[in-house]
């Protein structure tokens, strides 16, 4: 996501359009990106450290963006 101090014209455009579309009560909208990475093998401490480096150095532009890394289990049924 863009850092809070960085203007987000896309998010603002969405927010301004909402009342016109009948959706009130949303005071702020911010738009960002998400990446889903499928990891071979166990997502252990070492894998997470590498993914954090990858996100910081390659996926996110840390001059203007914040990022978080979350782990989600893939169930057999969802594969």
Give the interface with its own copies as residue ranges (CB under 8 A): 1, 11, 14, 17-18, 21, 23, 25-41, 47, 50, 53-54, 57-59
Cβ density class 30-63: b for 16+ within 10 Å, e for less: eeeeeeeeeeeeeeeeeeeeebeeebeeebbeee
CB of 46 to its own copies, least distance (A): 10
CB of 23 to its own copies, least distance (A): 5
CB of 68 to its own copies, least distance (A): 11
């Amino acid at each position: 996501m863009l850092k809070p101090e960085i203007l987000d014209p896309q998010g603002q455009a969405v927010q301004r359009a909402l009342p016109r579309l009948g959706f009130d009560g949303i005071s702020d909208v911010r738009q960002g990106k998400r990446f889903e990475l499928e990891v071979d093998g166990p997502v252990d401490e070492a894998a997470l450290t590498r993914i954090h480096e990858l996100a910081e150095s390659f996926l996110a532009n840390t001059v203007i963006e914040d990022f978080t890394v979350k782990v989600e289990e893939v169930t057999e049924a969802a594969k």
